[in-house]
């Protein structure tokens, strides 16, 4: 994550989700930016990890027309009995196969948006924001990995009197947060695992710099909604939830709310489209009783305004 580009005009965005109700208060538009320095095993948006555009292949749409093979200047595609093979070392993500495919089975994820284009897009739902108390949320990936775009873009949103939220993993350099925070109304912060060794193993980065930022964010004067994804075998212990909740209660006076988000594996297909392995493909949903117990433990530790959400399974383990 660099400090360069204070005032970048363009960002690589992989999704603009309108009518979102899970990324802050009210009806919102969530803009998902590409690039994340973490590599969480359960990442729900695997297309958000790489900072560059990527090619997706939708197996269920493919009719074997072979137009993509003819269109590819790099000879990066091969149609096999097992499906389309993409040589991702050769692929330059030029998008010619996407244009050629008559079944829309290939798609480049990650397009360049200018500040102007994005502002026009997010303002389409301005009246919904006003009536519902919503606004815009920047997520990802890790939006702070494109901080040079995020700071001036959020400043423009504020100039339009839009409510702004930043959904961050807490990993960026503090000097970057200092540039972005003046334009943010609400912070959404993920705290996943409080054991340093386990954290590094599952997210690929050290825990301490994140906690250091979390303390500062919690004292920045901005409201913070802290979130913990409950991931089977990784974050789903009462001790872990207690440790996060205690940290939130004791070290983050700005924390307004604590959310526990139950795991689901709906992202499996997206991993396949990217040619990536999803390590938690076989993992089961968490039980409702477990989520209730996590919530109770978090309340006991003093975390504010605790909620849980997400799909759960009914049967006993």
- Please tell me whether residue 74 binds ligand SF4 under the rule CB under 6 A: yes
- Of 129 and 247, nearer to ligand SF4 (C-beta) is 247
Q: Can you tell me whether residue 157 is helix, strand or coil? A: helix
- What's the rounded Cα separation, in Å, for the pair 141 and 216? 21
Q: What's the token pair of residue 66?
A: 């072979």
Contact 63, 281 (CB under 8 A): no
- Please tell me whether residue 38 binds ligand SF4 under the rule CB under 6 A: yes
In whole angstroms, how close is the CB of 91 to ligand SF4 at the nearest point? 3
Which of 33, 84, 97, 118 binds ligand SF4 (CB under 6 A)? It is 97
In whole angstroms, how close is the CB of 266 to ligand SF4 at the nearest point? 14
- What's the rounded Cα separation, in Å, for the pair 250 and 302? 8
- Please tell me whether residue 188 binds ligand SF4 under the rule CB under 6 A: no
* Residue 112, strand partner residues: 12
Which of 45, 132, 237, 264 binds ligand SF4 (CB under 6 A)? It is 45
Q: Which residues, 143 to 182, sit near ligand SF4 by CB under 6 A?
A: 169
Stretch that binds ligand SF4, among 14-22, 94-102, 152-160, 236-244 (CB under 6 A): 94-102
Q: What's the token pair of residue 317?
A: 């383990």
- Please tell me whether residue 48 binds ligand SF4 under the rule CB under 6 A: yes
Please provide the size of the chain in residues.
317
> Taking the alpha carbons of 271, 13, 163, 220 in that order, is the dihedral positive or negative?
positive
Q: Which residues, 224 to 263, sit near ligand SF4 by CB under 6 A?
A: none
Which of 72, 138, 157, 252 binds ligand SF4 (CB under 6 A)? It is 72
Which of 76, 105, 262, 298 binds ligand SF4 (CB under 6 A)? It is 76
Stretch that binds ligand SF4, among 136-144, 248-256, 264-272, 309-317 (CB under 6 A): 136-144
Which of 95, 223, 253, 275 binds ligand SF4 (CB under 6 A)? It is 95
Residue 70 burial (CB count, 10 A) = 11
34 by Cβ neighbours in 10 Å (0-12 / 13-18 / 19+) ranks as: buried
Contact 174, 216 (CB under 8 A): yes
- Please tell me whether residue 283 binds ligand SF4 under the rule CB under 6 A: no
Stretch that binds ligand SF4, among 13-21, 26-34, 71-79, 121-129 (CB under 6 A): 71-79
- Please tell me whether residue 109 binds ligand SF4 under the rule CB under 6 A: no
Which of 96, 155, 267, 276 binds ligand SF4 (CB under 6 A)? It is 96
Q: Can you tell me whether residue 126 is helix, strand or coil? A: helix
- Of 76 and 286, nearer to ligand SF4 (C-beta) is 76
- What's the rounded Cα separation, in Å, for the pair 37 and 49? 7
Residue 266 burial (CB count, 10 A) = 9
- Please tell me whether residue 93 binds ligand SF4 under the rule CB under 6 A: yes
- What's the rounded Cα separation, in Å, for the pair 306 and 225? 10
Of the candidates 303, 195, 199, the residue with the CA atom closest to the CA atom of residue 252: 303
Positions that interact with ligand SF4 (CB under 6 A) = 36, 38-40, 43, 45, 48-49, 55, 71-72, 74, 76-77, 86, 91-97, 140-142, 169, 203
């Amino acid at each position: 994550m660099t400090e360069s580009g204070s005032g970048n005009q363009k960002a690589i965005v992989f999704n603009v989700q309108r009518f979102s109700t899970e990324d802050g208060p009210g009806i919102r538009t969530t803009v998902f930016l590409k690039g994340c320095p973490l590599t969480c095993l359960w990442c729900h948006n695997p297309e958000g990890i790489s900072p560059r555009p990527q090619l997706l292949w939708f197996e269920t749409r493919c009719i074997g027309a072979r137009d993509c093979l003819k269109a590819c200047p790099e000879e990066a595609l091969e149609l096999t009995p097992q499906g389309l093979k993409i040589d991702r070392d050769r692929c330059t993500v030029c998008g010619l196969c996407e244009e050629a495919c008559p079944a829309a089975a290939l798609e480049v994820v990650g397009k360049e948006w200018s500040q102007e284009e994005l502002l026009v897009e997010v303002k389409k739902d301005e009246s919904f924001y006003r009536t519902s108390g919503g606004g815009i949320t920047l997520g990802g990936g890790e939006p702070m990995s494109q901080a040079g775009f995020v700071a001036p873009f959020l400043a423009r949103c504020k100039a339009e009197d839009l409510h702004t939220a930043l959904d961050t993993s807490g990993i960026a350099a503090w000097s970057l947060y200092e540039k972005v925070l003046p334009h943010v109304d609400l912070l959404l912060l993920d705290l996943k695992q409080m054991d340093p060794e386990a954290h590094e193993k599952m997210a690929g980065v050290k825990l301490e710099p994140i906690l250091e930022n979390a303390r500062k964010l919690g004292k920045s004067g901005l409201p913070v909604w802290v979130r913990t994804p409950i991931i089977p075998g990784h974050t789903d212990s009462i001790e872990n939830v207690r440790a996060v909740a205690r940290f939130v209660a004791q070290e983050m006076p700005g924390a307004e709310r604590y959310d526990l988000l139950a795991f689901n594996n709906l992202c499996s297909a997206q991993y396949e489209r990217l040619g990536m392995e999803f390590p938690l493909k076989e993992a089961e949903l968490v039980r409702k009783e477990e989520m209730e117990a996590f919530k109770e433990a978090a309340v006991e530790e003093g975390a504010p305004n605790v909620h849980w959400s997400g799909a759960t399974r009914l049967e006993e383990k």
